[in-house]
């Protein structure tokens, strides 16, 4: 099975079911947020959170068990989590103006965290029930996660290392140079800081990292490489900024660890999104030589 089938699903009907199901869940959340019930949703936070954190993986696993793809599992988990987040955000006044992105980002990041493990569980159950060859299943996983060859892995590792060095150098040597308004060069490497300084620039920065992660995916490099090309520059730039001004602990090791965690979370979220975009572009343009190499 190709990487495109792993991403989109081997069963075309399940692709439609996943999109329709996610759309329905989002619609339910939007409608429910306008009802009197939503005004008292704060008292039901434990129940709603449990529903999202257990229901999301369950939907993702069931989609995979029925030969759905990674994207379908993510969409179903996103739809459920967004429905819950929207019901909590609207009555509290969070979802106003730029605050609208809060439940969206919360749902997207949570769906990444619970949807991918759910997909893995469902795929494991499907292989067991169908009696699929374990070696074939392992090969499929490797195609999704890793580059095609050791040479390609080394090449992308060099790219990631160069991106880390460039980001670190830029953040150290011109840390306070303004890019726009109060936004500095160092903050450009941290989408969260960029969004806090200027939401428009934050969106552009996040889109840039998604685009960077899509490039290796379009060239069959694997999900881990998409994570790496985001993690390296974000860690380099954010690490310098964290050590310089963010943490009040006075311990550089703690600052670096905090920057690493921040970069890892952003890499998983933005890198996975970019991987989806890259594989999708590759499947939509199979005759493009640049995407076949």
Q: Which of 123, 124, 84 is nearest to 104 (CA)?
A: 84
pLDDT score of 17: 92
> What residue ranges of the chain have pLDDT lower than 50?
246-249, 287-288, 290-293
pLDDT score of 248: 47
Which residues are paired to 68 by β-bridges?
9
Chain CA centroid to CA 176, Å: 29
pLDDT score of 247: 46
Strands 178-180 and 183-184: antiparallel
Distance CA 36, CA 47 (A): 18
Distance CA 263, CA 190 (A): 8
pLDDT tens sequence across 21-50? 999 999 998 888 888 776 766 666 777 778
Distance CA 234, CA 241 (A): 10
pLDDT tens sequence across 17-29? 999 999 999 999 8
pTM metric for this prediction: 0.57
pLDDT score of 24: 94
Question: Is the separation of the CB atoms in 239 and 187 below 8 Å?
Answer: no
Block residue for tokens 């979220």: 269
């Amino acid at each position: 099975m190709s990487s495109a089938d792993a991403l989109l699903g081997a069963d075309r009907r399940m692709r439609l079911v996943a999109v329709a199901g996610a759309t329905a869940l989002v619609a339910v959340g939007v409608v429910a947020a306008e009802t009197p019930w939503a005004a008292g949703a704060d008292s039901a936070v434990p129940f709603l959170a449990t529903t999202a954190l257990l229901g999301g993986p369950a939907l993702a696993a069931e989609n995979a068990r029925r030969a759905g793809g990674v994207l379908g599992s993510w969409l179903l988990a996103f739809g459920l989590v967004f429905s819950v987040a929207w019901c909590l955000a609207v009555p509290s006044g969070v979802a106003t103006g730029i605050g609208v992105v809060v439940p969206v980002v919360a749902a997207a990041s949570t769906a990444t965290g619970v949807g991918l493990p759910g997909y893995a569980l469902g795929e494991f159950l499907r292989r067991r029930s169908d009696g699929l060859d374990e070696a074939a299943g392992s090969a499929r996983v490797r195609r999704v996660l890793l580059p095609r060859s050791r040479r390609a892995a080394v090449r992308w590792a060099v790219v990631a290392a160069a991106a880390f060095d460039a980001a670190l150098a830029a953040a150290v040597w011109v840390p306070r140079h303004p890019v726009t308004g109060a936004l500095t060069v160092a903050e450009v490497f941290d989408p969260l800081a960029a969004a806090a300084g200027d939401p428009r620039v934050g969106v552009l920065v996040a889109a840039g990292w998604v685009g960077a992660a899509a490039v290796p995916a379009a060239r069959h490099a694997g999900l881990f490489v998409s994570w790496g090309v985001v993690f390296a520059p974000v860690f380099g730039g954010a690490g310098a900024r964290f050590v310089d001004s963010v943490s009040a602990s006075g311990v550089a090791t703690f600052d670096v660890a905090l920057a690493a965690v921040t970069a890892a979370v952003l890499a998983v979220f933005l890198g996975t999104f970019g991987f989806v975009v890259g594989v999708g572009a590759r499947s939509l343009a199979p005759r493009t030589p640049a995407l076949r190499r």
